[in-house]
A and B are shown apart, each in its own frame.
Chain A
């Protein structure tokens, strides 16, 4: 039941924030902060109370009938993997609220309503153990995001919000057809019509059918992640969304797709994944190299960071289709580390464009002398992004490459080149923005206390991830073995 509360609190908090917005523009902010803090505390209590290695399949579980007629249940469950995802979600959520404290000035009530409902949808996605429920939450997070982009975004917001909604909705519907197909196949072979994840594991079906159904799931996840060639919505959406929206999109929402790949695609369609794996890894490598190349070519700072995201997502796809424990641990680390580092880069880009009133790289340069704190933060996260040892991304990418090496030496070697490509665009950010000749006549202010605290916390987070990764790996370990084990059981 506690898991249901996590979602209900977010939704109720959102509604309260909207109503409170009528009287004050400050009240919704505090309500949202409080809501997220309550959720985070609940999660911590659960962690302290239950521990992660109790040997149970799920740390906490809640199952109730929802639409019994179709075998739909309200089945929420949490293991180490979901818990990590939730901590990331609430962490980024808090940062998103703090970062929009000054930026968002109109309709703050409705803004925070949307923000919290997106987070509620994402929380639901990370907890659902019923495929129908999963799809339900998958869609719930879209509409508020559409509003967030469409109302508070930059100049081309309407176009961006359309593009985002249609891409994700269309691909989501394909997944829904696959879910229905799986449901019917399972029903007709066993006589039990259910959407429950546990029961649908190990459904027998023909190889072609399995491949077809998996493609439906892949459509949704690869578009959302996104993977080249389905990435065309990403730069527009990430660039036009308000800062808080970009943050949630890049740091959490794209991770729902990575999570979906691990949680649903791998265990449910093991044979199809095995035959698709080489193509999957190629997609990953293409993403790594092409993302880096495009990032290098951008002149718009926010777009550059957006493409760097494509590059990092490539590693996730590569790891997912390497199908072994090392790679999976790397994927999970990458999910968290990318969430923090790219989030921070977007914040820095946001601060710069707010001060300079432009995102154009050519009108930046030499800003270090004016804003040394901002510059230092920039340096740290750029280094994190290119995978410098000591920070989270290094552990993640290293593990993924190691895992890939076990599956395919060739792919691992090519992917390593991606690290160099990553370095090139990352260093270019520093060069163009903070070093070199001053191109802007404007004098900019350095970070305010609020901004320094936000980024400072993220710096600490990225170093903890890099220096003490073991607790994170440990908490995800049972989930990883479970995913791989479900796999082996059906293969044998």
Chain B
């Protein structure tokens, strides 16, 4: 390893150093505020380190990790989202008692896992990142152990994630057996020779199963609603945004490198999974009365939409995917952020009925949440619309009309339940509960609002930004 390699690893090193320092700090003295402030600083430092290494990209650290435009973009997104999640988490845990400091340590470890994933260029780092992420998540999900569903959710995630990992490992092993390679480029080169024999396809499908579990694609989606519901709201936010985003990113990298979209069997399998995910997610979301579960089902559908970009198999497809991912992250932050802010110590504000009358009691939160939901539904003026447009355009350009059609049908279905939530906000309620909003909460909501509207009205900035990074 050279000096330059170390420099390129800077963002990961910053994130990795944070938990160590925090652990030492906690042994000396426990202070929730200090730990919170420190994590904000460290996430900002991680963001800053991206600017430091920007002149050196692309650079490869052995064959294990790669720092190129793609990973830079996603690292930036991950750090920004983590920063906001820290703020939300602080607001959320502030009215809890007990040992809350370790939460931030684990949050950093999870972020580290996600960061390794998006820079991974080798099966080993892929696996390493995934496990770091998953193991941190088991703890995060069950963090509020006095709550009813929390342990159940943690154990469920443990079992499901292990099964997924087993599939993934087996798939990797099969591919290794077939090609003798573990690095993405090596595998891609072996695939490129046109000898996609049944062994490799089987390996690929196994990997797809593992990833399908992690991304909660149908038919591997059963765990999502329970875990979204059982986990504390900020952790659900993390799973929905960073965890899924990072796993999708590494999959996109691998899939485009090996030109998976040229293989008919894979295309058919992924198309079926995508369509099933869209319909199942949206149809099951229709009847939910729990807002977190509703968002969980909606995320299944959104992952289904995202599969379209994968199939497009072009660099435009990748751009569309990143655009979609970023707008989805902002939007989801808004939705879960609202739940976190409205939650009280005993329970999360997760019933849709908790939102009753919000429009009249606290219009600011209600407006942001409405906008978020409209963005998830893909209504113009919001980021979600531009993202969906980009997605459909690339899908149709590559000739996937059926997928584009099912996206359109599903957009209509999804409107039913998004509108239902919005409707609940402006029906009058008897309860006199007033939702106060601390300044930090205001800032988060304002950021979400600006993000959604900005991407919805002037998407060119982000598309050009993504374009300039991907061409590096």
Give A contacts to B, CB under 8 Å. Answer: 66-70, 107, 135-136, 139-140, 142-143, 146-147, 150-151, 158, 161-162, 165-166, 169-170, 173-174, 176-177, 180-181, 184
Contact = CB atoms under 8 A, between A and B. Distances in A.
Given A70-B393, A169-B412, A139 B419 contact: no
Among B360, B380, B415, B467, the most chain A Cβ lie within 10 Å of the Cβ of B380
B412 A170 contact: yes
A180 B423 contact: no
Nearest to A177: B408
A173 B396 contact: no
B12 interface: no
A216 B26 CA distance: 63
Contact of B404 (A147, A161, A177): A177
B100 to A, nearest CB: 38
Contacts of A69: 460, 463-464, 467
A173 B412 contact: yes
Interface residues of B, number: 25
B411 interface: yes
A107 B360 CA distance: 9
B273 to A, nearest CB: 22
B322 to A, nearest CB: 14
Given A67-B459, A69-B463, A140 B415 contact: no
A180 B423 CA distance: 31
B460 A68 contact: yes
A184 B412 contact: no
Contacts, number: 58
Contact of A67 (B360, B379, B426, B463): B463
B415 A169 contact: yes
B411 A173 contact: yes
Given A66-B460, A67-B460, A139-B380, A166 B412 contact: yes
A174 to B, nearest CB: 7
Return the 10 tightest CB-CB contacts between A and B, nearest first: A139-B380, A170-B412, A173-B408, A136-B380, A67-B460, A69-B463, A180-B396, A151-B426, A140-B380, A67-B459
B404 A140 contact: no
Nearest to A187: B397
Given A69-B463, A139-B385, A184-B396, 9 more contacts: A107-B360, A142-B379, A147-B426, A151-B426, A161-B423, A173-B412, A176-B408, A177-B404, A180-B404
Contacts of B396: 177, 180-181, 184
Given A67-B460, A150-B423, A174 B408 contact: yes
Interface in B445-468: 459-460, 463-464, 467
A165 B419 contact: yes
A166 B415 contact: yes
Contacts of B392: 176-177, 180
Among B423, B459, B467, the most chain A Cβ lie within 10 Å of the Cβ of B423
25 contacts: A68-B460, A69-B463, A69-B467, A70-B393, A107-B360, A135-B380, A139-B379, A139-B380, A140-B381, A146-B419, A150-B423, A165-B415, A165-B419, A166-B412, A166-B415, A169-B415, A170-B412, A173-B412, A174-B408, A176-B408, A177-B392, A177-B404, A180-B392, A180-B396, A184-B396
Contacts of A184: 396-397
Contact of A166 (B360, B374, B416): B416
B378 to A, nearest CB: 9
Contacts of B415: 165-166, 169
Contacts of B419: 146, 162, 165
Contacts of B411: 169, 173
B405 interface: yes
A100 B267 CA distance: 56
Interface string B307-333: 000000000000000000000000000
Contacts of A176: 392, 408
B223 to A, nearest CB: 31
A169 B379 CA distance: 9
Contacts of A147: 426
B405 A143 contact: no
Contacts of A70: 393
B239 to A, nearest CB: 29
Nearest to A135: B380
A147 to B, nearest CB: 8
Contacts of A139: 379-380, 385
Contacts of A174: 408
A67 B404 CA distance: 21
Contacts of A173: 408, 411-412
A476 B323 CA distance: 43
Contacts of B426: 147, 150-151
A169 to B, nearest CB: 6
A34 B79 CA distance: 47
B423 to A, nearest CB: 6
Nearest to B392: A180
A92 to B, nearest CB: 23
Among A147, A180, A181, the most chain B Cβ lie within 10 Å of the Cβ of A180
Contacts of B379: 139, 142-143
A237 to B, nearest CB: 14
Contacts of A177: 392, 396, 404-405, 408
Contacts of A158: 423
A372 B396 CA distance: 61
Contacts of A146: 419
A169 B378 CA distance: 11
A66 B389 CA distance: 15
A135 B378 CA distance: 13
Contacts of B385: 139
A69 B462 CA distance: 11
B270 to A, nearest CB: 21
Contacts of A142: 379
Interface string B390-430: 00110011000000110010011001100100010010000
Contacts of A180: 392-393, 396, 404
